[in-house]
Chain A
Amino acid sequence: MSEPMPSGPLAFDPAAERPTQPDPDRSAVSAAQGDPADFGVLYHRYLDAVYSYAFYQLGDHHDAEDATARTFMAALRGIGSFRNEGASFRAWLFRIARNTIANAHRTRARRRTEPMDAISLEPPAPDADPAGLALRAEEARRVRAAVIALPDDRRQVVLLRFADGLSAREIGEVLDRSEGAVRVLLHRALKDLAEQLHR
């Protein structure tokens, strides 16, 4: 199944106060558009970020791998039509990922999925203090559960900002919102989370 490609110029806030940053991927994108063999640079640069974004939303390694693969194959097919005007390659890629993950949510079978907050993300270091590890794991589990419970738009903003490091402008490009709207969403999401976590 092919994933929907973002079409037309992505959302761009002309009233944004901060100067537009040059797209750090511009040269790699140009190279990939000239010769698809160069797409590997972009693949290796964003594999972890796209996978994390998928995993934190789907809560399952298998589904996250499938969504990640679909995202990169769709990006490879569409790289020739990407235009670096107003939106960065990273935002474009995450927009494909977002559409892919939304499709996965809609179509995946109703099989049992281990809840995200129950998954151990990294094996503990052999010499780590078990009590401290357990405390940190429990804390992280609580935080992820609170993120999952957020309304969809706030959850998206939090994941893109903290799991993937996108700026408010880039998140706006992914979600089709203005930079100002993203900042407000993020502010509200953090207030909600602060209230829940420090109750």
Chain B
Amino acid sequence: MADRTPAERLDRALDSLLTGGLATRERELRPLLDTADQLRLALAPVPVSARFEADLARRVAAGRRAGRFDLHVPTWLLLTGAVSSAAVGVGVTAYAVWRGTHRSS
């Protein structure tokens, strides 16, 4: 299907420009493609420092280990633990209230 709008034709031409392909022969798009070429050069990839790359790689690796631990803790075990803790808390509180009530009477 033929491209219909200037925006679509420009996008196709940019695909070609950014992948090192042939430039379009459309005169209407030439000024925009010249600007696009300036952008391509001015917005080149910014180098990452080796120190930062190594530091973040270590953090990602540590995060991966934490993630693996999370995966190996079953949900039912976490839920059981939470419910048990809550039950113990409620029980202890109820006992303390009961003891307090009986002492004061």
Contact = CB atoms under 8 A, between A and B. Distances in A.
Interface of A: 17, 35-37, 39-40, 43-44, 47-49, 51-52, 55-56, 61, 64-65, 68-69, 72-73, 76-77, 80, 121-122, 136, 139-141, 143-144, 147, 158-159, 161-163, 165, 167-168, 180, 183-184, 186-187, 190-191, 193-194, 197-198
Q: Is the interface of B mostly helix, strand, loop or mixed?
A: helix
A76 B35 contact: no
Nearest to B69: A36
Interface residues of B, number: 39
A186 B17 CA distance: 15
B48 A48 contact: yes
Given A43-B57, A73-B59, A190 B36 contact: yes
Contacts of A184: 7
Given A48-B45, A143-B39, A183-B8, A191 B68 contact: no
A40 B31 contact: no
Nearest to A188: B7
B83 interface: no
A187 B42 contact: no
7 tightest Cβ-Cβ pairs between the two chains A and B: A143-B42, A187-B7, A36-B67, A140-B42, A183-B7, A163-B43, A36-B64
B51 to A, nearest CB: 10
B63 A158 contact: no
A147 B43 contact: yes
Contact of B60 (A76, A80, A198): A76
30 contacts: A35-B68, A36-B67, A36-B71, A40-B57, A47-B56, A51-B48, A52-B43, A69-B59, A76-B63, A76-B64, A76-B67, A77-B67, A121-B44, A121-B47, A141-B42, A143-B38, A143-B39, A147-B39, A147-B42, A147-B43, A158-B43, A162-B39, A162-B40, A183-B5, A186-B11, A187-B11, A190-B10, A193-B39, A194-B31, A194-B34
B10, B52, B57, most chain A CB atoms within 10 A: B52
